[in-house]
Amino acid sequence: MANDPNLWKSTPLYGSALPDAEAVNARIWNAFRRLEATDFAARTHFFHGRYENLYLKPGQIPEVEQVLRYAESCARQILGIQQPLRIGGWLNLQEPGQSTTEHVHEEGDELLSGVYYVRVPEDSGALILRDGALQIRAQSREGHFFFFPPSLPHRVEENRSAHPRLSLAFNLGLAG
């Protein structure tokens, strides 16, 4: 199912909104802003002067785990499976003037990729998905998810706002 090139056409643009997203996002944002650059378990994908992927240490921001558990539930519905999924996630901070380069998440046995939006100032960039010549521009919304196949090339437009944007990206595959 994950290799079906038409899967994204039936995937909802925003999946479900996270229950109590406003409060959860405020706690994630406040905890994130208290972290120093050295407090991450890892930072990867250094492009254009920034690390695109910021990995947390286990339990560092408990609300992130809450978001990932909900994402797993949504992904099982999208994929039409009941078995537990393995999920790995990382944060993406986009300061004003920054963008995320086009990439895919096809690194192993992922079935689905996604993003959850924690903080999205107006004019901070949309998610752009590319399927050949076709491009989909998905406007990000705080507290909402967007799911897509790991093989689908995507990027995030430049943050043209005066404020940082924060999202949580993730990949899902079969557990075990």
Long-range own/partner contacts, residues 62-65 (CB < 8 A, 24 or more apart): 63/24, 63/27, 63/28, 63/31, 64/28, 64/89, 64/91, 64/168
76 in a domain, yes or no? yes
What distance in Å separates the CA atoms of residue 140 and residue 130, rounded to the nearest whole number?
Answer: 16
Q: What is the pLDDT of residues 98-108, one digit of tens each?
A: 998 898 887 77
Is residue 1 assigned to a domain? no
Instruction: Provide the whole-model pTM.
Output: 0.87
Task: Return the SS3 of 44.
Answer: strand
Residue 101 lies in a domain: yes
Question: Given this model, what pLDDT does residue 55 score?
Answer: 67
In a domain, 27, yes or no: yes
Q: Which domain holds residue 93?
A: 7-174
pLDDT of 16-49, one tens digit each?
788 899 999 999 999 998 887 668 766 666 666 7
Q: Do the domain assignments include residue 2? A: no
The verdict on residue 32 lying in a domain is yes
Q: What is the pLDDT of residue 86?
A: 93
Give me the CATH number covering residue 158.
2.60.120.620
DSSP state of 133: T
Q: How many domains does the chain have?
A: 1
CA terminus-to-terminus distance, the chain? 18
